[in-house]
Amino acid sequence: EAGVTQFPSHSVIEKGQTVTLRCDPISGHDNLYWYRRVMGKEIKFLLHFVKESKQDESGMPNNRFLAERTGGTYSTLKVQPAELEDSGVYFCASSLRQSTDTQYFGPGTRLTVL
């Protein structure tokens, strides 16, 4: 069974540009989460989808970040316009159905904003 996949693995963009990250959860997982780790800090929660609905987006830093999960399958996280402080590793995770099912993580996307 395929795990959580993320694309791209690495993205380098200039300040002010737009970047879209993609996450494909494990097949059949209703819950999808985004986290990020900026340089030197802890991994921080961004938001949580249950199927196509946003369950909790309390961790989204500002309105330059837009997450979608149309159809309840894969998800995208768009940063527009990107700022220097957005650099870091963006992780996606998925879990089955119950709110306390274990979250399985993808390899992350390393975003560098110059």
Partner 1 sequence: AQKVTQAQTEISVVEKEDVTLDCVYETRDTTYYLFWYKQPPSGELVFLIRRNSFDEQNEISGRYSWNFQKSTSSFNFTITASQVVDSAVYFCALSPNAGNMLTFGGGTRLMVKP
Contacting positions for partner 1 (CB under 8 A): 3, 31, 33, 35, 41-45, 48, 56, 58-59, 89, 91, 93, 95, 99-108, 110
| Nearer to partner 1 among residue 44 and residue 64 (C-beta) | 44
Residue number with CB closer to partner 1 (56 or 85): 56
Taking the least distance from each CB to partner 1, the nearer of 44 and 78 is: 44
Nearer to partner 1, 35 or 65 (CB): 35
DSSP E strand boundaries for 57-105? 65-68, 75-79, 88-95, 104-105
CA 108 to chain centre: 8
Residue of 90, 53, 57, 56 whose CA lies nearest to 70: 53
Cβ within 8 Å of residue 53, ≥6 positions away: none
Question: Distance between CA atoms of 19 and 47, rounded to whole angstroms?
Answer: 18
